[in-house]
Amino acid sequence: MKKTSKRLRSLFAALAALMLAVILTVPAFAVEGGFADLYYRMNDSADVLTEEEDSELEDALEELSLRQSFDVTIATIESLESVDYDSMEAYADDLYDYCQFGYGPDMDGVLLLVSVGDRKWHISTCGYGITAFTDAGIQYLGEQMKPFMAEGDYAAAFRTFVQWSDTYIDAARAGRPYDVKTLPRDPLSPMYLVLAVGIGVVLAWVIVSVMKSQLRSVAFQENAASYVREGSMNLTNSRELFLYRDVQRTKHVEEKDSDSSGGSSTHTSSSGTTHGGGGGSF
């Protein structure tokens, strides 16, 4: 009986040691995989999501970040005043740095911050995120999320952010990050085609009607000779002489728009980390 009890205690001790080893290896794998630690990537401090939406987005962000080896996170706040900040950029950068978001030594990643009370959004990028999310790309992404945020459908806005982030990372790694000249083009609606054809038909009818009204004094004739006045044309000789050619050449200098250069502007956060980013209102 004592031997049996001793064996059971040894078995329980072995199981406990195994469970402890498994628990300890989880953060170790996270660190070894390039992320600083285990943390939530969907931080809904403003409480704009349901429990199901929060869980769904957390899973989506986790899957995307691990698959791309690139940290994608979202945070909401009630207002800048609630966190004692006066700048969306400063708070987004500090939140990114102090929470140790990012993958690898360069802290590759992107953070979307939404201030519900101020109706503002800001995207902070770091490491490879500065390459993948250019200034023009950030503004384009903001335009895709803006209608949902304006209607209060934050879950749809955040799903849009997750989907486009995946696309942005793929495009950057393929050597064509979304920028001024490489932004996605929205397909034209069939209504535009119908409208263009309609406008063309109306303009053509107006032009033909005006031309027709100017010919009321002209009567129809059976042959072209009837239109020539008698004795008005007496051609005896004709030839062509090339006298000279006057060509003026002007050098065309294309003006360069400062916004057309593309790329990402950067700045330094309070912790000394280089960030890119941009934002707007909704």
Tokens linked to 57: 């987005």
Task: For domain 42-186+267-281, give its CATH number from 3.40.1710.10, 3.10.310.50, 1.10.3720.10, 3.30.300.30.
Answer: 3.10.310.50
Q: Which of 82, 85, 110, 81 is nearest to 96 (CA)?
A: 110
Summarize pLDDT for 212-261 with one digit per residue, the tens: 666 655 566 666 666 666 666 666 666 776 666 766 766 654 444 445 57
DSSP string for 92-150:
HHHHHHHTT-SBTTTTBEEEEEEETTTTEEEEEEETHHHHHS-HHHHHHHHHHHHHHHH
**In this prediction, what percent of the chain has a pLDDT beyond 70?**
65
Model pTM greater than 0.85?
no
At 64, list the tokens: 């995307």
Q: Does residue 57 contact residue 42 with C-beta atoms inside 8 Å?
A: yes
Q: How many CB atoms lie within 10 A of CB 205?
A: 10
Q: How far is CA 78 from CA 39, 90, 268, in A?
A: 21, 16, 25
Q: Which residues of the chain have pLDDT under 70?
A: 1-33, 186-198, 201, 204-205, 208-238, 241-244, 246-247, 249-260
State the pairing for strand pair 109-115/120-126: antiparallel
Q: Where are the domains of the chain?
A: 42-186+267-281
Pick from 72, 37, 78, 36: which is nearest to 57 by CA? 72
Q: Are 115 and 88 in contact (CB under 8 A)?
A: yes
